[in-house]
Amino acid sequence: MTTIAVTGSTGQLGRLVIEKLKARVSGQQSIVALARDPAKAADLGVEARAADYGQPETLAKALAGIDVLLLISSDAIGQRVAQHRNVVEAAKAAGVGRIAYTSILRADVTPIGLGQEHRATETVIAESGLGFTLLRNGWYLENYAGAIAGALHTGAFVGAAGDGRISAAARADYAEAAAVALTGEGHVGKTYELGGDDSFSMAELAAEVSRQAGRSLPYNDLPEAEYAKILESIGLPAPVAAMLAQSDVGASKGGLVENGRQLSALIGRPTTPLPAFVEGVLKGL
């Protein structure tokens, strides 16, 4: 019996991964959901164990008997490398055979500042001596749901991405790729650069929303600092606003485009197209 565990199982990506795993596991595979509060994982329909990235004492028990582990990146920017190291060290001590990690697109060379902690985590995993699979995820289409709602309210999209192209895919697409990598053969030692089949610019996103909404919603490109100030003005903490603005600039430098179609190859179907995503967002507003 092979036991597969997923950290962050009660988060948006984690829940989807668990559901995708349940649809794929064989009779010789079992699933464990790891969460800071196992009670929140009760509805997932699998065994749940307490595990907190920041509390190493919880990890040894949580990882006992685990063969394959999906380490979903922590959202604690600035603390992630230390938290991830806790998990990797506990996994090694527990005899975990392989770690799959949700990294960022081209973590080794990305111009996006978020890549620094992902790059460092990849190094920690490589130096652990454990088997590994790196799932370098591009942007989620869902990242743009708020921008669509905001544009409908203000009459325009804003950002600092210039003409940069963005190979975004739905969170469910990335979750399915993780499930494939966790349950299948041939993924040990592999690094996957994952993105949507078709890229778009922010101007093209604005044009698609305009088409479906039946009104003109232009994209206004701004300097990084000005865009960060706008994000702060709608309530985002200054460090988060700065991170998002810098990520847009990284996109303008090619940091979010990926034409290799490794994601659709892994999941065996096309990734979620932009028009379908936009339609879903508009219906939910």
| pLDDT score at 193 | 98
What are the residue boundaries of the structural domains of the chain, listed by start? 2-138+171-193, 143-165+197-258+269-284
Contact between residue 38 and residue 48 where contact means Cβ atoms under 8 Å apart? yes
Question: Alpha-carbon distance 187 to 97, whole Å?
Answer: 12
Alpha carbons within 13 angstroms on the beta-carbon side of residue 201 total 14
Class of the 143-165+197-258+269-284 domain? Answer: alpha beta
Q: Where are the beta strands (DSSP E) in the chain?
A: 2-6, 29-35, 47-50, 68-71, 98-104, 131-137, 157-159, 191-194, 219-221
Q: Are strands 131-137 and 68-71 parallel, antiparallel or unpaired?
A: unpaired
What are the structure tokens assigned to 130, written together?
Answer: 């454990």
Q: What is the DSSP letter of 253?
A: T
Q: Are strands 47-50 and 29-35 parallel, antiparallel or unpaired?
A: parallel
Give CA torsion, residues 271, 197, 228, 218, to 10 deg: -100
Q: Which residues of the chain have pLDDT under 70?
A: none
What number does CATH give the domain 2-138+171-193? 3.40.50.720
| pLDDT score at 27 | 85
Residues 6+ apart with CB under 8 A from 284: none
| pLDDT score at 77 | 85
The 10s digit of each residue's pLDDT in 194-237 is: 999 999 999 999 999 999 999 999 999 999 999 999 999 999 99
Question: Alpha-carbon distance 33 to 179, whole Å?
Answer: 13
End-to-end CA gap in the chain: 45
Q: What's the whole-number average pLDDT of the chain?
A: 97
Q: Which of 180, 209, 183 is nearest to 283 (CA)?
A: 209
Contact between residue 147 and residue 183 where contact means Cβ atoms under 8 Å apart? no
| pLDDT score at 201 | 98
Question: Alpha-carbon distance 84 to 73, whole Å?
Answer: 8
